[in-house]
Amino acid sequence: MKETVLILGADGYIGWNLMMYLGRKNQGLVVGIDNYSRRKLVNKVKGDSLIPIASMKTRIEAYKEVFKKNNLRFFAFDITNSHLLRKAIKKIRPTIIINLAQMPSAPYSMKNLGYAAWTIKNNVIGNLNLLWIMREICPKAHLIKMGTMGEYGTPNVDIPKGFFELKYKGRKDWVPFPRQAGSFYHWAKVTESQHTNFACKIWGLRATDMMQGVVYGVTTEESQKDSRLAGRFDYDGVFGTAINRFVVQSMCGIPMTPFGKGGQIRGFLNIKDSLKCFELYINNPPKEGEYRVFNQLVEQHRTVTQLADMVKQIGKKKGYNSSIKKIKNPRIENEKHYYNAETTKLTKLGLIASDFRKEIEKMFDDLKPYIHRVNKESIIPKITWK
Amino acid sequence: MKETVLILGADGYIGWNLMMYLGRKNQGLVVGIDNYSRRKLVNKVKGDSLIPIASMKTRIEAYKEVFKKNNLRFFAFDITNSHLLRKAIKKIRPTIIINLAQMPSAPYSMKNLGYAAWTIKNNVIGNLNLLWIMREICPKAHLIKMGTMGEYGTPNVDIPKGFFELKYKGRKDWVPFPRQAGSFYHWAKVTESQHTNFACKIWGLRATDMMQGVVYGVTTEESQKDSRLAGRFDYDGVFGTAINRFVVQSMCGIPMTPFGKGGQIRGFLNIKDSLKCFELYINNPPKEGEYRVFNQLVEQHRTVTQLADMVKQIGKKKGYNSSIKKIKNPRIENEKHYYNAETTKLTKLGLIASDFRKEIEKMFDDLKPYIHRVNKESIIPKITWK
């Protein structure tokens, strides 16, 4: 791979790991941009990465030392400032742009009006700036944008790959699948997807939109080489997500907490599989003017309660005695529903997924040195949808 | 009707006429809010209302004088300021809230990144503020929100009333109809509709969402009573819309300008019919927690070229010698397509539409005293989508 890669949101859970992963694969530069908002917001809700993380400067120096490559760069600024973003893109001239620069928490966006409005402005305007600036400066670059499976909600039918043949009253058309998001954060993602599709249509940009499932996992091949290379790991009630939180709860002897009936089903994938997907998209780019959607997940057959149970069994093997306690659902969502997302496109590109059980086992080992750092107070979700 | 009505966007084309219309029908107060952005933006693109319009203060005084009623109020501020909006709603305690406070021009939103971003922030955040504040202060009020038929785009199937039975791979669900907007302005409307639907679902608000066609017409029963009561009338290339522009072009001896092949079909309705719809929604409110959608149009069987031809014939009768000249399409859109929107819900509520031809004839008479004021320079659209 020889590309000039630009990653927006390079300091996040996926962002930093992707910097290293693509840095190693790529002959060209991998440039990151971030405003450090993730670090600030997690601290604001009294959370903290369970694994201590270094500054981007230290990380990049450690990468150079460990991998003997000097192809990572980083700039700290906010991409909702279109002037700074334009200047950076003019200078970098990326061939690949990956937009991960989004506030990623559903509860955060539901806390109050101020947080909801900030989420929409931050996520939607950042992506809008990028689209207009790509049109102006690098219309042929390949945009890879982070969407979410949460855009679709939980319809009572299979979830196609973004588009489907609509049949209505004897006529038909090929149209976007209806979106039914469950938080203002998820709705912001819907808006970004719609804007991106529209920009491809009118300006001939090309984009890969990843409807990603919930990512779990602690380390990647790169991050485990040196403690200065560690990626962040959130487990709090605002920025933590299902499996990651369950493993932490299990290790701390706190009951795992499915919401409500616990029959919710979501798509999941390991962080290493997420990184592989980016590589596959880069090596198999869309055509000019093409907007394509991948449902990016590999595991979707267990309910949240069944997942908790699986983590419980694995914990037991590892010597932890954990329990499950359903709590009142802070969200408004279907607690028992049909779920089946089509993922054949990923398989066709060549994704071979990690072993689900083994990866969860590995999480227990990865987190062991840090589990004493847990702040138990921050685990229970306090933000409600009502 | 005895309601406390709040109209956001009370200074616009529909806003001011609606203030008077509901003011006359209603026993309670009709309170308007506006930041005068429409006046400012139209002037910014070198346009101006063809009919001189008075200040809101003068208008309200004239209304009092003409209709012997003292039930209109007006406050000038920007609803994207949530503190001001909250304060106003706390004081007014509306039972009906009508949100027309949107920048309404597709070309304006496509001019450049700054205009696009401003449109989204203004329209989406204004509506978001309203939803959160309604939840807090008046969750039982009936929200009537201005959407647009443009949210649906021009699918190759009938357009249902917002929702439809989705059949996919042997299963089915009742879901929102896919949206395929054609400008960032239209996408902002989609986002507002999605947020509003979501707010009804999670907070139990109730809303009527109007997917309105293109409104045409000059005067209403109220506005023609006194020159101080006149509503605005835009004909420029940015804020003017199809029929209104055609009539002005016809009267000025400038060719009418369908875009491209001119086979586009849109829904239309007269401004007086639009006002009636609001009254019907108020008198037939949705249930608590209900989000309902009306396709608000009465005329959708002629292509844009056929409409221009109709205006030409009417113009001829009125003594104007007009012509039609197709111009290069500044937009990216289907120029020949299927179009059939379902509108039965409006008929069931009791809407009896005005006579299309007679209303266009009347426009020639209404505009005659002002046609010398036309700035011909401003008529041709200059903003392109590419």
Q: What is the tens place of the pLDDT at every residue in A42-61? A: 999 999 999 999 999 999 99
Q: Please tell me the predicted confidence (pLDDT) of residue A28.
A: 98
Q: What is the pLDDT of residues A329-339, one digit of tens each?
A: 999 999 999 99
Q: Which of residues 213-272 of A touch B (CB under 8 A)?
A: none
Residues 6+ apart with CB under 8 A from A116: A109, A110, A184, B128, B132
- Residue A133 burial (CB < 10 Å; 0-12/13-18/19+)? buried
Crossing angle for the helix pair B113-120 and A126-137, nearest 10 degrees? Answer: 160
What secondary structure, in 3-state letters, does chain A show? CCCCEEEECCCCHHHHHHHHHHHHHCCCCEEEEECCHHHHHHHHCCCCCCCCCCCHHHHHHHHHHHHCCCCEEEEECCCCCHHHHHHHHHHHCCCEEEECCCCCCHHHHHCCHHHHHHHHHHHHHHHHHHHHHHHHHCCCCEEEEEEEHHHCCCCCCCECCCEEEEEECCEEEEEECCCCCCCHHHHHHHHHHHHHHHHHHHHCCEEEEEEECEEECCCCCCHHHCHHHCCCCCCCCCCCCHHHHHHHHHHHCCCECCECCCECECCEEEHHHHHHHHHHHHHCCCCCCCEEEEEECCECCCEHHHHHHHHHHHHHHCCCCCCECCECCCCCCCCECCCCECCHHHHHHCCCCCCHHHHHHHHHHHHHHHHHHCCHHHCCCCCCCC
H/E segment holding residue B98: strand B96-99
Q: What is the pLDDT of residues B350-383, one digit of tens each?
A: 999 999 999 999 999 999 999 999 999 999 999 9
Q: Give the mean pLDDT of B333-351.
A: 96
**What are the DSSP calls for B244-257, one per residue?**
HHHHHHHHHTPPB-
Q: Please tell me the predicted confidence (pLDDT) of residue A372.
A: 97
Q: Please tell me the predicted confidence (pLDDT) of residue A285.
A: 98
Contact B175, B190 (CB under 8 A): no
Indicate yes or no: CB of B171 within 8 angstroms of CB of A195: no
pTM above 0.95, yes or no: yes
User: Does residue B350 come out as left (phi exceeding 0), alpha (psi in the -120 to 50 range) or beta?
Assistant: left
Q: Please tell me the predicted confidence (pLDDT) of residue A113.
A: 98
User: Does residue B253 come out as left (phi exceeding 0), alpha (psi in the -120 to 50 range) or beta?
Assistant: left
Percent of chain B residues past pLDDT 70, beyond the cut? 100
Contact A142, A97 (CB under 8 A): yes
What CA–CA distance (Å, rounded) separates A181 from A11? 26
Give the number of other Cβ atoms within 10 Å of residue A300's Cβ.
18
Q: What is the pLDDT of residues B146-170, one digit of tens each?
A: 999 999 999 999 999 999 999 999 9
Q: Please tell me the predicted confidence (pLDDT) of residue B250.
A: 98
- A134 vs B: CB within 8 A: no
Q: Please tell me the predicted confidence (pLDDT) of residue B343.
A: 95
Q: Give the mean pLDDT of A103-125.
A: 98
Torsion of CA A181, A187, A190, A191, to 10 degrees: 160
Catalytic residue, candidates A13, A21, A115, A185:
A185
What CA–CA distance (Å, rounded) separates B179 from B163? 11
| Cα distances (Å, whole numbers) of residue A107 to A112, A132, A195, A331, B131 | 10, 30, 24, 8, 17
Strand-strand pairing, A268-270 and A72-76: unpaired
Q: Please tell me the predicted confidence (pLDDT) of residue A130.
A: 98
SS3 B202: helix
Q: Please tell me the predicted confidence (pLDDT) of residue A85.
A: 98
What CA–CA distance (Å, rounded) separates A239 from B335? 47
What CA–CA distance (Å, rounded) separates B175 from B224? 43
pLDDT-derived band at A343, boundaries 50, 70, 90: very high
Give the residue carrying structure tokens 């409600």. A384
Catalytic residue, candidates B80, B148, B303, B343:
B148
Q: Which range is least confidently modeled, A217-221, B50-54, B195-199, B378-382?
A: B378-382
Our answer to whether residue A13 is catalytic in this structure is: no
Q: Please tell me the predicted confidence (pLDDT) of residue A148.
A: 98
- B316 vs A: CB within 8 A: no
Percent of chain A residues past pLDDT 90, beyond the cut? 100
Our answer to whether residue B370 is catalytic in this structure is: no
What CA–CA distance (Å, rounded) separates B36 from B114? 19
Give the number of other Cβ atoms within 10 Å of residue B372's Cβ.
8
H/E segment holding residue B118: helix B113-120
Evaluate whether ipTM surpasses 0.90.
yes
What CA–CA distance (Å, rounded) separates B76 from A172? 47
Catalytic residue, candidates A148, A220, A257, A343:
A148
| Among candidate residues A89, A115, A105, the one with its CA nearest the CA of residue A33 | A89
Q: Which of residues 32-91 of A touch B (CB under 8 A)?
A: 82
Degrees (nearest 5) of the Cα angle B44, B103, B195?
155
What CA–CA distance (Å, rounded) separates A360 from A308? 11
Nearest-CA distance B90 → chain A (Å):
16
Q: Please tell me the predicted confidence (pLDDT) of residue A245.
A: 97
Residues 6+ apart with CB under 8 A from B83: none
Half-sphere exposure of B128 (CA within 13 A, CB side): 29
Nearest-CA distance A140 → chain B (Å):
15
Q: Which of residues 320-339 of A touch B (CB under 8 A)?
A: 332, 338
Q: Please tell me the predicted confidence (pLDDT) of residue A357.
A: 97
B113, B155, B187 ranked by CB distance to A175: nearest: B155
H/E segment holding residue B269: strand B268-270
In eight-state DSSP terms, residue B141 is S
What pairs with residue B67 in β-bridges? none
Give the residue carrying structure tokens 């016809």. B250
Domains of chain A listed by start with CATH number: 5-378 (3.40.50.720)
Q: Please tell me the predicted confidence (pLDDT) of residue A370.
A: 98
Token readout for B230 is 């006149």
| Among candidate residues A111, A92, A93, the one with its CA nearest the CA of residue A44 | A111
Token readout for A39 is 């670090």
| Among candidate residues A257, A262, A266, the one with its CA nearest the CA of residue A338 | A266
What CA–CA distance (Å, rounded) separates B74 from B31? 6
What CA–CA distance (Å, rounded) separates B2 from B95? 9
Crossing angle for the helix pair B184-203 and B126-137, nearest 10 degrees? Answer: 10
Contact B364, B241 (CB under 8 A): no
Our answer to whether residue B148 is catalytic in this structure is: yes
Contact A184, A222 (CB under 8 A): no
B187, B194, B386 ranked by CB distance to A195: nearest: B187
Q: What is the pLDDT of residues A116-165, one digit of tens each?
A: 999 999 999 999 999 999 999 999 999 999 999 999 999 999 999 999 99
Q: What is the pLDDT of residues B183-241, one digit of tens each?
A: 999 999 999 999 999 999 999 999 999 999 999 999 999 999 999 999 999 999 999 99
Indicate yes or no: CB of B187 within 8 angstroms of CB of A194: yes
What CA–CA distance (Å, rounded) separates B237 from A4? 41
